[in-house]
Structure 1
Amino acid sequence: MSALLAGLVDDAGLFPPTALPPAGAVARHRRDRAAAHPMHTLRLLVPVARLAEIRAELRPDDRLALGLIADAAGPGDPGERLRAALATVAADDRLETALIEAPLAAFGGDPATAVPAVLAATAGAGAPVFLEPAAPSGIGALLAAVRGTLGVGAKLRCGGVRAELFPSPAEAAHFVTACARAGVPFKATAGLHHAVRHRDPDTGFTHHGYLNLLLAAALAAAGPGDPAPVLRALETTDAETLARELAALSGPAVAAARTLLVSYGSCSTRTPVSEARTLLDAA
C-alpha cells in the first residue's frame, strides 16, 4: 500500500472546517515536516490573499513548499495578484512554489479565455498548474482548452460548506473518466474528510471518501472507456470492499492510479493517516 498512499495528502489546514489561524497552520505544518510521514506531500496550500499572513509566521530557518492558490479575493486582476504572489515566493528563501491551483471562476469561468489568462500569469513559474472548472460538469471544456499543454492538470472540488458544492458520484465519475481518457492528471479538494463515502450526521451532507477516489482513479486509468466501474467505486460505502480491491492492485495499476490522481487537500493531516492504517493494514 505504500506506493498507493505515498505523497497523497496536501496540507489544507487553513481551510474549513478546521480553518486554523495562520500561526496554528504554520506550527502544525512545521511539526508535520519534521515527522515527514510518507502520506504527506509536505505542501502547504495557501490562497494568494493569505500569503502575507503565512509569511508573517515564518522563522528564518523555515523551508516551506507551497501549493499557491489563485483566488478572487482582493482588488484588481486575479492574474496580476497571482503573478505578484509568485514573485514574492520566488524572492523568499524560506518558500518555494511546488504547485499552483486556479479556480477558473476567478478568471471569468469560460475555459476558452480563463485558461490562457491563468497560463499567462504562471508562465515561468516552473510548477505544475491545476485548473478547477466552475463546476465538475465543465471538465470537457477545460480539457479541450488545455489539450497538448504540458504541466497542466485539473482539479476536482469534492465538497464544501454548501450542499451544491458536493458533486454526485456520477458527476465525479465523469470528471475522473474524462481526465483518464485525456491523459490529464488531477488533484482533488474539499469534502474528503474521511477514507470512505459517508453521511455527516451534523450537516446531512454525503461526503466522498479518499479511498473511493483512489480506487476510481485506478479503474479509470485501467479502462478509460468505461465509466461504470468508476461510478461503482465512488458509490460504495463498504470499507472492506474498498480496502480489498485497493490491496489487489498490481504495481503498474497503482502507478497509473497515482499518475492520474496526484494528491488531495485535507484540512486534517492526522485523520487520513490514522484511517489508512486502520482500514488498509487489515486488508
Structure 2
Amino acid sequence: MSTSPAPLVPPLFQGLFDDAAVFPPGNLPVADAVPAHRAHRAAWYADAVGPLLCGAGRLDELAAAARRPGPSAAQDPAPAPASVPVLRVGLVLPGGSAELGPALSAAAPFEVAGVELATRDAREAVAALDLLLPADVPAAVEVPRELLRGDGLDEVLDVLLDSPYRAKFRTGGVVAGAFPDERELAAFLTGCARRGLPYKCTAGLHNAVRHTDPVTGFEHHGFLNVLLAAQETDPAAAAEVLAERSGEVLAKAARTLSDRQVTVIRNSFTAFGTCSIAEPLDDLAALGLLSPDPTPQEDR
C-alpha cells in the first residue's frame, strides 16, 4: 500500500505565520511587501504562510502595489507571471468598528482572509461584525491588555465565546511594557483553552524560543513556547512552558506531540502576525523541526 509523502510543512506550523511585514518593527514598504508575500506564497514553505496583513489606512497603497504584475528586481529577477493571483489579505483595524465598513469596501480587489478588530468594548465589536462582516470571513477581536486583568478577562472571553469570532492577544511591541509576562499570557491562553475559544497573537513572536533581546533587553515569548502552552488548561503549567528557554527541550516536546494534541493546539492557537517570515522558518530549521525542500519548483 502506497503512503502519501510527509508534508513539507508539518501540521503544527501550517498557516501559522501571518505576514505582517508592513508593521513595526519591520516596516517594509507596501510596494515591496506585496512581491515579497507573493514569493512566500510560491515557495516550498507556502503552507506555513497566512495572509498579508494590512492596516485600514494603507489599502489604497496595497491596491496599487497589487496591480503590478511582477516581483521587483530586488526581490526576484524572474519573469513576471502571465496573470496576477488575487491577493489574500487580513484587514487590521486599530480604529475599531468605525473602520469596518469602509475597510471592507476598500478591500474589494482582494480576497479578504480575515479581519482583526481592536476595541474597548467586545460586545459592541461583536455587534458590528455580526452586522457588516460576510459570513465566510473570520474575525478576531483584540481588547487592550489593561482591560483583561482580573474579572475583565473572563468577561471578554465569555462575550467572544458566544460569538463566531476569535480572541486576539498582543504579545509584544516596540516598548518593554507591550510584552506581557508569562503569568499574564498564561491566564489568557488557559482562559481560552478552558472555553474552547480560538485565538491569534501578534507582535514579538518572531523567534521560536523565549529569549531576552540582546539589543533592547525586551523579554520575548517564543512561538514554540506558545504552541506547546496552548494545550494547557492550568495557568501554572502554561506559565512553566512559556518560561522555558531551552530550544532542545521545546523541540523534543514538539516532536512527541500526537496528532490529536496537534489538532487541539492549532484549534486554539490559530496564527500570529510576524514582520519576518524568514526568522521563524530559520529557527524551526535550526531546531530540526522543519527541513527545507531541496527540490527546485520546476522539477516537481
Cα shift at 1:9:
0.6
- The equivalent residue for 1:261 is 269
Kindly indicate whether the alpha-carbon contact (under 8 Å) linking 1:79 and 1:121 is maintained by their aligned counterparts in 2.
Answer: no
Of 190, 194, 206, which residue of structure 2 is paired with 1:181?
Answer: 194
Query: Structure 2: how far apart are the matches of 1:47 and 1:141?
Result: 27
Cα shift at 1:111:
2.5
Q: Which consecutive unaligned segments of at least 5 residues does structure 2 have?
A: 1-8, 70-83, 291-300
Cα shift at 1:114:
3.8
CA 1:119–1:238 in structure 2 vs 1: closer, same or farther (change >3 Å)?
same
Cα shift at 1:133:
1.4
Kindly indicate whether the alpha-carbon contact (under 8 Å) linking 2:97 and 2:125 is maintained by their aligned counterparts in 1.
Answer: no
Of 137, 140, 145, which residue of structure 2 is paired with 1:127?
Answer: 137
Mark the structure with the bigger radius of gyration: 2
Of 13, 27, 35, which residue of structure 1 is paired with 2:21?
Answer: 13
Of 29, 53, 66, which residue of structure 1 is paired with 2:89?
Answer: 66
- The equivalent residue for 2:105 is 87
- The equivalent residue for 1:139 is 153
Deviation string 1:234-259 (CA, Å, 9 cap, x unpaired) is: 01111111111111111100111001
Percentage of pairs with the same residue:
40
Kindly indicate whether the alpha-carbon contact (under 8 Å) linking 2:225 and 2:250 is maintained by their aligned counterparts in 1.
Answer: yes
Residue 169 (structure 2) pairs with residue 159 (structure 1): no
- The equivalent residue for 1:149 is 163
Query: Structure 1: how far apart are the matches of 2:229 and 2:168?
Result: 15
- The equivalent residue for 2:207 is 194
Give 1:168's aligned amino acid. Answer: D
Give 1:26's aligned amino acid. Answer: V
Cα shift at 1:120:
3.0
Of 75, 98, 101, which residue of structure 1 is paired with 2:113?
Answer: 98
Normalising by structure 1, what TM-score? 0.87
Query: Structure 2: how far apart are the matches of 1:281 and 1:89?
Result: 36
Deviation string 1:84-118 (CA, Å, 9 cap, x unpaired) is: 2212323x2xx1111110111xxxx1324343234
Give 1:175's aligned amino acid. Answer: F
Query: Structure 1: how far apart are the matches of 2:191 and 2:85?
Result: 39
Give 1:115's aligned amino acid. Answer: V
Query: Structure 2: how far apart are the matches of 1:255 and 1:169?
Result: 23
**Cα RMSD between the aligned structures?**
1.8
Aligned length: 263
* Structure 1 outlier segments of 4+, above 4 Å: none
- The equivalent residue for 2:285 is 277
Q: Which consecutive unaligned segments of at least 5 residues does structure 1 have?
A: 73-77
Cα shift at 1:156:
1.2
